């Protein structure tokens, strides 16, 4: 069975569920779709298809990129806030998923608990795409990998460094994605902020087979040393606002700044999924500087997700 056939009808909940070959296939599709858009070549692969988009967490990039992506693919997207549907009034996730699956051709869900999206996937009967959960953010990391390919020309053999809260959806999806495509990855985080152990165990097992190196360290200099790609995220994600002050105090030595980045490779690139808090997890000098590719990265949400929707939802 070809990769194209394997992906058709599949849900996209974590990068850990996809092989390295499947991820690279999606990246090649994204590059092709991006070029078609640039050249003004119509690509209505999802003509007549509808994507339902359920948001329990607010969004800028996720909503706009999926909605515009469906439009460019010839389809239609429906925005569904949890406050506006029966899910917000006590209907079970399973019942909501079963009903919506009879109306739409795919669902994108942006929610808190990862169990919620797993339940959607089990009940919907159509592909379900993870737009973000507290545990994983695979659509963002797919765009990150696309951005790295564009700027570095390769993935295999590169070192990516994530600094900040290691028990973070970006860190988890980066861990999974990196080892799938042959990258080395270092997570720099303080004690008590390490990645989820179950995810880390799975990633370490895969790294042992693939040859990728995985490092989790409390030393930010060790983590960023000789990195080709430096990444961070906000220190207090949605739902953690009450912990803001404590997190700032604990994570301040992991700020991405020019002094720390002297230890990365001279041609490193900086990524951030945005929105960013300037002078908190990253200085404005880095975010707006010559190494930053954050707006290319943000644009690539559109192209990576179009490739994903085409692969999962097309006939």
Is residue 273 annotated as part of the catalytic site, yes or no?
yes
Is residue 233 annotated as part of the catalytic site, yes or no?
yes
**Which residues of the chain, if any, have pLDDT below 50?**
none
CA pair distance 244, 14, nearest whole angstrom: 27
Question: What are the C-alpha distances in Å from 269 to residues 70, 72, 118, 235, 297?
Answer: 30, 29, 34, 20, 11
Residue keyed to tokens 């300037």 = 278
* Binding-site annotation, residues for L-ornithine: 169, 233, 237-238
CA pair distance 160, 146, nearest whole angstrom: 14
Is residue 291 annotated as part of the catalytic site, yes or no?
no
Is residue 137 annotated as part of the catalytic site, yes or no?
yes
What residues contact residue 88 under an 8 Å CB cut-off, 6+ apart?
Answer: 81, 82
pLDDT at 177: 98
Q: What pLDDT digit, counting tens, does each position of 183-220 carry?
A: 999 999 999 999 999 999 999 999 988 899 999 999 99
Q: Label each residue of 127-179 as H, E or C.
A: CEEEEECCCCCHHHHHHHHHHHHHHHCCCCCCEEEEECCCCCHHHHHHHHHHH
pTM beyond 0.95? yes
Q: Of 72, 105, 110, 272, which one is the catalytic site residue?
A: 110
Strands, E assignment, the chain:
50-55, 76-81, 106-110, 128-132, 159-163, 184-188, 214-217, 229-232, 269-272
pLDDT at 238: 66
Burial 146-159 (b: 16+ CB within 10 A, else e): bbbbbeeeebeebb
CA pair distance 100, 233, nearest whole angstrom: 33
Q: Of 136, 172, 247, 301, which one is the catalytic site residue?
A: 301
* Binding-site annotation, residues for carbamoyl phosphate: 59-62, 86, 110, 137-140, 273-274, 301
CA pair distance 293, 315, nearest whole angstrom: 34
Is residue 202 annotated as part of the catalytic site, yes or no?
no
């Amino acid at each position: 069975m070809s990769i194209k056939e394997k992906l058709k009808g599949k849900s996209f909940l974590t990068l850990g569920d996809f092989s390295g070959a499947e991820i690279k296939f999606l990246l090649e599709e994204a590059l092709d779709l991006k070029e078609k858009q640039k050249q003004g070549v119509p690509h209505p692969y999802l003509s007549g298809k509808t994507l339902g988009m359920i948001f329990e967490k607010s969004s800028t990039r996720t909503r706009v990129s999926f909605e515009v992506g469906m439009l460019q693919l010839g389809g239609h997207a429906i925005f569904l806030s949890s406050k506006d549907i029966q899910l917000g009034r006590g209907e079970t996730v399973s019942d909501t998923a079963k009903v919506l699956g009879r109306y739409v051709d795919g669902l994108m869900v942006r929610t808190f608990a990862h169990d919620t999206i797993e339940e959607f996937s089990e009940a919907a009967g159509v592909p379900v795409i993870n737009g973000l959960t507290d545990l994983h953010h695979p659509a963002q990391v797919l765009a990150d990998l696309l951005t790295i390919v564009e700027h570095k020309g390769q993935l295999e053999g590169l070192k990516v460094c994530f600094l900040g809260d290691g028990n973070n959806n970006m860190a988890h999806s980066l861990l999974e994605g990196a080892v799938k495509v042959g990258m080395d990855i270092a997570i720099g985080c303080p004690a008590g902020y390490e990645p989820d152990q179950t995810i880390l165990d799975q990633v370490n097992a895969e790294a042992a087979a693939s040859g990728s190196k995985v490092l989790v360290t409390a030393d930010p200099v060790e983590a960023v040393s000789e990195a080709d790609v430096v990444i961070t995220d906000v220190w207090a994600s949605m739902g953690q606002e009450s912990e803001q002050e404590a997190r700032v105090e604990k994570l301040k030595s992991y700020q991405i700044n020019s002094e720390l980045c002297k230890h990365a490779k001279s041609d490193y690139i900086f990524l951030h999924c945005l929105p960013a808090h300037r002078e908190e997890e990253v200085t404005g000098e880095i975010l707006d500087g010559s190494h930053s590719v954050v707006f290319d990265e943000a644009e690539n949400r559109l192209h990576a997700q179009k490739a994903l929707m085409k692969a999962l939802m097309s006939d």
